[in-house]
Amino acid sequence: MSANSVYLAYLVAAVLFILTLKGLSSPISSRRGNMFGMVGMAIAVLTTLSLTHNVVYILLAIAVGGTIGAIIARRIEMTAMPELVAAMHSLVGLAAVLVAMAAFNNPVAYGIALPGEALHSSNRIELFIGTFVGAITFTGSIIAFGKLSGKLSGKPLRFAGQHWLNLLLGIVMLGFGIAFFMSPSWTPFLIMTAIALVLGVLLIMPIGGADMPVVVSMLNSYSGWAAAGIGFTLNNNMLIIAGSLVGSSGAILSYIMCKAMNRAFFNVILGGFGGEAAADATGDGVQKTYRSGSADDAAFLMSNADSVIIVPGYGLAVARAQHAINEMSNALTDKGVKVRYAIHPVAGRMPGHMNVLLAEAEVPYEQVVEMEEINNEFADTDVVLVIGANDVVNPAAKNDKSSPIYGMPILDVYKARTVLVVKRSMATGYAGLDNDLFYMDKTMMVFGDAKKVVEDIIKAID
């Protein structure tokens, strides 16, 4: 392809990527947005292949990677989507590190140096930034994967002087980066990379489970900037554009997540909440009481209500109850009950987790309402069904200044006339905090697996 044809193809792909982000801003247009992204990526890949002579090796790598990806995508459950995203982020970070190493090992082949000449200063900076961002993304994403999948504890790992240690390691890493800039050699490069790998672990381990939605979007941003760094190393404008779009959109999403949790971004990075000792059900030594009921009781209350709001959480995802909850909603709608779903920005364990689950179950888009739009309507709602959610409906965020989640915007479930909560037990949520909502006079607890409870409710409604 001619140079002009390549630039034109990359421009078309870039426009399609931008349209992808626009499409993903709404569930209604998300399918179209995904289609734009796939077409744009196909154009970008084919254009890049036209510029290389090693097509066979690249196609072989694509075939292997694509096959593995297809198998994983078909087998993965929606509940495991957060950890899968974290795992994918780690691969982007690893790719950035490996490409940087390969480029430094043979800069002539990558077109960043002429035979017999040293690396240009700008290329040294690119390699330094791309490597340490990629390395931090790689190990940080692995830790996030472990926390999200339950292979590692969701509690933050803290120790005395951890921030000073991180600062010291950051300074030392920067020092070796400067040494690499002044005199490119493997020793400072490898030491710098090793420190960055350690920093990725130390930065994510102190972050607790309740902050993991922010961590996922933050790592998404990191992976984008790592990809952009690869683009500079490979002198590929398309990769720079795509990486920058992912990096900037991930940063914006991280800001939105922090705002939704009333958290400062640097407070999350410097050690988020989520592992504090949970307040037990006894409070100040006084046993709290709660009211429990059956699926039949819940069915009776909702069938005789004018309006019902359903608040889904991670427990719904674990129980794979999204299809059953949609069937229940249809049964209530047939009886003349107005049914809607209230979505908190950080419900689940990654941004948009609940929206994707409900879309998979073909819940009508018009029934799914975001927190800002529905919070004023809880006071006029007859029944709220909380299914698998905990921290995002905890009144402590509004009335307990000593709570770690104080100030976090929540769904105002406690204002409804009747609250039904489906849980397996009275155990605390991901933030490790007790929930006063469960002990209110207007609240009825329905214990059991979310899917089984909802199926029993459907039978009782019919």
Q: Which residues are catalytic?
A: 391
Half-sphere exposure of 254 (CA within 13 A, CB side): 22
Counting Cα atoms < 13 Å in the Cβ hemisphere of 85 gives: 22
Tokens of 437: 């909502």
The partner residues of 339 in beta bridges, in order of sequence, read: 308
Looking at residue 13, its amino acid is A
361 touches 326 (CB < 8 A): yes
Tell me the two tokens of residue 400: 């307990």
Contact residues for 197 (Cβ-Cβ < 8 A; gap 6+)? 135, 136, 138, 139
Burial tier of 60 (Cβ tally within 10 Å: 0-12, 13-18, 19+): exposed
Asked if 347 and 313 touch (Cβ cutoff 8 Å), the reply is yes
Query: Which distant-in-sequence residues (6+ apart) come within 8 Å of 302 by Cβ?
Result: 308, 332, 337, 383, 385, 420, 457, 461
Closest CA to 394 of 444, 425, 432: 432
Helix (H) or strand (E) holding 85: helix 81-105
Buried b vs exposed e over 287-319: b needs ≥16 C-beta within 10 Å? eeeeeeebbebbbebbbebebbbbbbbbbbbbb
Rg over CA atoms, the chain: 25
